[in-house]
Amino acid sequence: MSILAPFSDADPALLSATRLHPQALARQARRWQALGETPWLHAQLAERMAERLDWIKLAVHRIVQWQPLWGGGDAALRRRYPEAQHSWVEAHADAARRLRPAWWQPWRAPLATVVAPQALPEGQAQLLWANLGLHGAANLRAALATWHRALAVDGFVLFSCWGPDSLLELRRAYNAEGWGPVTPAWVDLHDIGDLLVEAGFAEPVMDQERLTLTWPDADALWRDLAALGGNVHADRHKGLRTPRWRQRWRDAMAAHLTGADGRLALTLEFVVGHAIKPAPRVAVAPETRVGLDRLRDELRRPRG
């Protein structure tokens, strides 16, 4: 549902159909910031992603939540790890206000520490959580490298994103009507797995599920599409749409998206991945110098 920006400057081979409009991206960010709460769809997907936490038995004491104001997941993480310390990574400085205790509860500690992406402490977290956290990244490789640096050895990242079949029905409808692109391209899960390994992660596991969302009518669909994103493709329609076009849009959605039950339906391909940060390998060379502390750590590590 969220017509969210993908990874805007990853390899051209991965994103040949992706071109983003910077003003549309900025407007999208302002919309989410003005909401003051996590969009409903993002919150639901965060709960689905949290189910994967039961698969992972690693101890977690410190958690980094990547842009959780719109990605969601805070409640699920606190249920699963009630004693963990939390850091929120938010690009907007006023995020800290939403974490302060209410004025009538001055004894309460803040829910989390808020840090900017560039100020994230290195090598401390056992879990980095990023629901839809790769979307809109200015540089995919840089984002993955930041996640890798934030994690302690044996820590893990758990993240989600849209797959390339998301909103396929909507894209087909726009194409049939000659309205141009309505969404960016999204990256295949296998390519993301490869980039995780390139970034230094180990044992990446990617899975996907297809979800079908339905609406009673085109106006309900329009409201959700507008609230959860908007078209950020660089080749989107440049001018303002007219009321006459809005009616054409209603008619087209009814014609292209109506299912057997009379409701409008769209498919989401929801991709969830996790990977572990392994211990650094000692480089092999004719002569290798290893610090005493690092050698001691290597000798203490259990061998599989």
CATH of the domain at 57: 3.40.50.150
Q: What's the whole-model pTM score?
A: 0.80
What pLDDT sits at residue 107? 43
Cα–Cα distance between 224 and 230 in angstroms, integer?
Answer: 9
Kind and range of the H or E run holding 164: none
In a domain, 203, yes or no: yes
Cα–Cα distance between 126 and 255 in angstroms, integer?
Answer: 49
End-to-end CA distance of the chain: 43
What are 41-52's pLDDT values in tens digits? 889 999 999 999
Q: CA distances (Å), 30 to each of 26, 34, 43, 81, 180, in order?
A: 6, 6, 19, 31, 24
What are 58-105's pLDDT values in tens digits? 999 999 999 888 789 999 999 999 999 999 888 765 555 565 555 454
- Tell me the range of 19-23, 25-29, 116-120, 126-130 where mean pLDDT is highest: 126-130
Tell me if 68 sits within 8 A of 74, measured CB to CB: yes
In a domain, 296, yes or no: no
Cα–Cα distance between 140 and 158 in angstroms, integer?
Answer: 16
In a domain, 206, yes or no: yes
Task: Say if residue 109's pLDDT is above 60.
Answer: no
In a domain, 79, yes or no: yes
In a domain, 253, yes or no: no
The structure tokens 């989390």 sit at 112
In a domain, 153, yes or no: yes
Find the DSSP H helices in the chain. Answer: 22-35, 40-50, 68-71, 74-80, 140-150, 168-177, 189-198, 218-227, 243-257, 292-300
In a domain, 12, yes or no: no
Task: Say if residue 194's pLDDT is above 50.
Answer: yes
Low-confidence winner among 17-26, 49-58, 189-198, 251-260 (lowest mean pLDDT): 17-26
Kind and range of the H or E run holding 151: strand 151-162
| Number of domains composing the chain | 1
Range of the domain at 38: 22-167+183-214+268-280
Task: Say if residue 234's pLDDT is above 80.
Answer: no
Sign of CA dihedral 150, 157, 2, 114: negative
In a domain, 114, yes or no: yes
- Write down the mean pLDDT value for the chain: 80
